[in-house]
Amino acid sequence: MRRTAPSLILASVLALGSVASCGAPDPGSETTAPAEAPASAPAQMTFSAEQLNQLAPAEARVISNPADPQATLILFTDYQCPYCAMMDTLIQQAKEDYGDSVRIVVRNYPLPNHRNAEPAARAVEAAAEQGALEEMAAKVFEHQQDWKSASEVDGIFASYAEELNLDMDRFRADYDSEAVKDRVARDLQDAQELQIRHTPTLILNDREIQLQTGAYSEISEPLDQALANN
């Protein structure tokens, strides 16, 4: 029997019938809703076979990659979104519980209305080049309040890399590299083309997981069912 993580209850920030997420601005509108307000639960998204390679391309970052995955879980995340910080704990629990059978893919979705989300994604990507994606993501999420409104974040993210004992010359080079900028931009473009409207968004195989309370069971139950049906 799989170990169940404590439920992550967001009662202090959720209205009844709402979902904890940061919303992407409507590209057809000149005004946007507050980026960090709970949004009404949208219809569940499903994806065609043709879209699966765009959801989880071969070069996408993975935090769990078993030799023979029985399912694929894809997370679109924004490092400035507070709900993504909460989701990170659940994803780490899912990795511990299902990492031997489920491929877990992490895609960047730096929302345009989050000023420091893109450099935060680049910091995580630069750390990933040294095998420290999860460690840097944890740092960035843990200290989100320290950098989310800062006017200069390069030094802040470099300090996290130092704390992780990364090669600093390589980190700075990767952080500023066109390759890392392009990777983040490609992830963002894929999210927009797939019409993903909020972060965090979790997709299991070809279907979005509906997140209402933030309880771990909202992830573990669909995973259990997918593995049972495999």
What does the pLDDT look like over 143-185, one tens digit per residue? 999 999 999 999 999 999 999 999 999 999 999 999 999 999 9
Q: 128: exposed, middle or buried (C-beta count within 10 Å: 0-12, 13-18, 19+)?
A: buried
What six digits make up the tokens of 195? 């019409």
CB-side exposure of 125: number of CA atoms within 13 Å? 29
For the chain, counts of helices (H) and of strands (E): 9, 9
The domain ranges of the chain are 45-228
**CATH H-level, domain 45-228: superfamily:** Glutaredoxin (3.40.30.10)
Band (pLDDT 50/70/90 cuts) for residue 230 is confident
Q: Strand order in 207-208's β-sheet?
A: 61-64, 102-108, 71-77, 201-204, 207-208
pLDDT score of 30 more than 50: no
